[in-house]
Amino acid sequence: MSIVNTGINLYRRFLNLLNFLQSPFLLLVRVYWGWQFWQAGWGKLQDISKPIGFFTELGIPFPVFNAWFVSLLECFGGILLILGLASRLISIPLVIDMVVAYIAADREALKSIFSEPDKFYAAAPYTLLFASLIVLVFGPGTISLDYLIARYVRKRHSAEPEPVIISQKV
């Protein structure tokens, strides 16, 4: 076996290992940051007057409605991420939530994304935004309720028998 073939085989094994690790990695992302979202939402719900006051200070329209909406979104969105249920769908409003958090509360960090990227990375919404984007783009992985539901639906629809056409002899 040549050195080139050995290198190719080692590289294939390396890629197979990385492919195997994709779903456990996505599970860790979902569980860790889903928990972070849940804690953030639950914390806001424990004293809703604080986020209402903060949203009012920031000039966010309809601060009472938005405080409740964001709190519930983060709470239930976190649970859905942990379970891997409707993961990509819930990632969309979570991404929007974090973009609005950057615009409203961490505008300086957002403006310095290219000039001082450390400020952008250090801002509170960054990791939650990044985790939501990972799930949105890559999906929840095979260790998720989304995967189990999709597999069930595929099996159920592919198991439907072909229609039988009976020819009539005259």
What is the pTM (predicted TM-score) of this model?
0.87
Task: Give domain status of residue 53, yes or no.
Answer: yes
Burial, 119: exposed, middle or buried (Cβ in 10 Å; 0-12, 13-18, 19+)?
A: middle
Task: Report the percent of the chain where pLDDT is more than 70.
Answer: 92
Asked if residues 82 and 95 have their Cβ atoms less than 8 Å apart, the reply is: no
Taking the CB of residue 4, how many other CB atoms lie within 10 A of it?
8
Under DSSP, the state recorded for 160 is S
Average pLDDT over every residue of 75-86:
99
Which of 94, 82, 98, 99 shows the shortest CA–CA distance to 29? Answer: 82
Task: Give domain status of residue 39, yes or no.
Answer: yes
158 phi and psi, to 5 degrees? -80, -15
Digit-coded pLDDT (tens) for 141-164: 999 999 999 999 999 887 666 655
What residue numbers bound the domain in which 100 lies? 23-148
- pLDDT for 157: 83
Domains in the chain: how many in total?
Answer: 1
Task: Give domain status of residue 157, yes or no.
Answer: no
Which of 117, 91, 118, 104 shows the shortest CA–CA distance to 60? Answer: 104
Task: Give domain status of residue 109, yes or no.
Answer: yes
Task: Give domain status of residue 134, yes or no.
Answer: yes
Digit-coded pLDDT (tens) for 29-79: 999 999 999 999 999 999 999 999 999 999 999 999 999 999 999 999 999
